[in-house]
Amino acid sequence: MTDTATRVVLSYPADLSDWGRYQLTTRHFEAYLRKTLGTVHEGDRREEFLDVGCCGDALDLTLRVAEVEGGAEVDADTEIAWTEHEACDVQGGWRVQSADGPTV
């Protein structure tokens, strides 16, 4: 049996826009992560898609597990925290509905 993680710190690319950072920290995205991360370890990488609505290109990016406190199993009670890692030329094409699109 794996112990539950009390806190997981995920990192995103430093060149992610403010809009992208907002999408990461929405309640529904963090709830999605709690349901889908499963067992995590520092250094793990995970490809994720950020919601861009119905009118645009996908914004895919790599999240990294920067820190795990407690056990390794993420559940509904695990706190999700954020930090950034080096820039990696994040590209996104959603500008149809938002002036703050992914490449700002």
pLDDT tens readout for residues 25-47: 999 999 999 999 999 999 999 99
Which pLDDT score, from 0 to 100, does residue 19 have? 79
Task: Supply the CATH number for residue 46's domain.
Answer: 3.10.330.10
Q: How does pLDDT run across 42-89, given as a tens digit for each residue?
A: 999 999 887 665 555 557 789 999 999 999 999 999 999 999 999 887
Q: 17: exposed, middle or buried (C-beta count within 10 Å: 0-12, 13-18, 19+)?
A: middle
Which pLDDT score, from 0 to 100, does residue 23 have? 86
- Backbone dihedral region of 89: left (phi > 0), alpha (psi from -120 to 50 degrees) or beta? left
Examine residue 93 and state whether it is found in any structural domain, yes or no: no
How many distinct structural domains can be found in the chain? 1
Q: How does pLDDT run across 89-100, given as a tens digit for each residue?
A: 776 545 544 555
Examine residue 49 and state whether it is found in any structural domain, yes or no: yes
